[in-house]
Structure 1
Amino acid sequence: MSAPTTTTAATTAIVTGSSSGIGLDIARGFLAQGANVVLNGRDPERLAKAAALLGQPDRVAEVPGGTGTAATGEALVRAAVERFGRVDVLVNNAGTFAAKPFTDVTEEELDGFLTGNLKGTYLTTQAVVRQLRRQGDGGSVVNIGTVLVEHAIGGFPASAPLVTKGGVHALTVSLSAELAAEGIRVNLVAPGIIRTPLHAGSDVDAFGGLALLDRVGEVSEITDAVLYLAGAAFTTGHVLRVDGGYVTGRS
């Protein structure tokens, strides 16, 4: 992978699910490149703490709320335009993930994954694309999927989150074709096993042997991939695996 393309001071990025973990680090990465960032998370208090941790209030806006409703996407766009004048990049990071055997998944749980992963990405992207069309000079959408869509683990049953993340992969390919003529690029980062708060309390390093590089990934490595795709002007419809070679083979 080549070095990430540096954003300009005028760039404004919306990052959903950015109260902690991967989303928070993605926001940090954009700020380090001089961009403005709109943070999002369901818990207003956690979101405020994340903004304080980033420490650049003049370039950070906060919009609490779940992305599973159209109103949150519209609020994110409104905050970006009112605070910073425009939107340039959307990172659809918000989502949910948990393992559970297929026949034990309840209808309520399935609805939660559909809303948190697929519907949230779909509705937020709609709101941002409408604004990008108003601006008329293109833009970039980077979705977050998972390599488990391509290569599942028998001992880690996760059909509900995977079928919804699979929908995000399909949406990426479809929108990349539909929006290309308008200069709107749509790509996806597919993480492998990453050291995040999701694995708190567990020995995440025990999974390192699943990858050719014999380790788990770090959140900063997902950030690097997102920043690259956000600025890669001749790349669209691409699924970028950041998995240490997990899908490719075994060490």
Structure 2
Amino acid sequence: MNTVQKVAVITGASRGIGAALVTAYRNLGYAVVATARSLDESDDSGVLTVRGDVAERGVGARVVDAAMARFGRIDTLVNNAGIFISKPFTDYTDEDFDAVVGVNLRGFFEISRSAVTAMLDTDGGGHVVNVSTSLVDYASSQLISALASLTKGGLNAVTKELAIEYATRGIRVNTVALGVIRTSMHPAASYETLSATHPLGRMGEIDDVVQAILYLENAPFVTGEILHVDGGQSAGR
């Protein structure tokens, strides 16, 4: 009987989707390393919180080192942290670019590089899940998003590359591409308008995202998948 406890690392874990994923993975029996810029210590001995901005050089490696020191292994990494800034393309500033690229790309790169290194030393391989957006495939005049498309499009592409690169070494890589999800990012006054952007006629809920990620977690024959969780946006209108 295998009694080894699996370990998940979740970025952007202080609220919304990230916080819900911490609970979901604990319910699966995983220990969890939760990281975000602002995060309180947990009373749960199975949850290690590590404060840090994944956009900063060295933070991703520090999170992975903390996970290994506390739990001795990493089985899953969920790259949930992300920044979305909606502006006309010519209105973006250098600061906007640095912020979005820092979290969405550098944050992914550094923590994933360290986590995959740890997974290669773990019996049973591992799983990386990225959080992207359907706007990469389905541009919308209602949600202008050049920097999101630029950076999240990169995540979609690298998902497939890494899935192939590590397929024979037991590491799966997948992505969930989201529509508009009902979180604190969106004011309540915008819900009706945002709901209309989805063919299903509603915004996504946090649990819709959590259940999609748990599906990928429990689907050992699925890798390199861009799973759209977008109320039909990517299928067309």
Instruction: Specify the TM-score bucket, using the shorter chain as the normaliser.
Output: over 0.9
Moved more, 71-80 or 108-117: 71-80
1:142–1:188: 8 Å Cα contact kept in structure 2? yes
Q: How many residues align?
A: 235
Q: Does 1:32 align with 2:19?
A: no
- Once the two structures are superposed, residues 141-179 of structure 1 have per-residue CA deviations (whole angstroms, 9 ceiling, x without a partner) of 000000010001113221112211111111111111111
Partner of 2:49: 62
Q: CA deviation at 1:137?
A: 2.9
Q: CA deviation at 1:136?
A: 4.7
Correspondences of 1:28-107 after superposition (within 5 Å): 28-43=23-38, 47-48=39-40, 52=42, 57-107=44-94
Q: CA deviation at 1:70?
A: 4.4
Q: Considering only aligned residues, what root-mean-square deviation do their CA atoms show, in Å? A: 1.6
Q: Distance in 2 between matches of 1:67 and 1:164?
A: 15
Scaled by the length of structure 2, the TM-score of the pair is 0.94
Runs ≥4 in structure 1, deviation > 3 angstroms? none
What amino acid sits opposite 2:32 in the alignment? Answer: V
Ranges in structure 1 where 5+ consecutive residues have no aligned partner: 1-7
Q: CA deviation at 1:16?
A: 0.3
Match of 2:131 among 139, 144, 158: 144
Ranges in structure 2 where 5+ consecutive residues have no aligned partner: none
Q: Distance in 2 between matches of 1:228 and 1:80?
A: 24
Partner of 2:121: 134
Partner of 1:191: 178
What amino acid sits opposite 1:228 in the alignment? Answer: Y
Q: CA deviation at 1:9?
A: 6.8
Match of 2:104 among 117, 120, 125: 117
Scaled by the length of structure 1, the TM-score of the pair is 0.89
Q: Distance in 2 between matches of 1:184 and 1:210?
A: 35
2:135–2:145: 8 Å Cα contact kept in structure 1? no
1:40–1:62: 8 Å Cα contact kept in structure 2? yes
- Once the two structures are superposed, residues 62-95 of structure 1 have per-residue CA deviations (whole angstroms, 9 ceiling, x without a partner) of 1111112342222222222222221100000011
Percent identical: 40
2:85–2:148: 8 Å Cα contact kept in structure 1? yes
Q: Which has the higher helix share?
A: 1
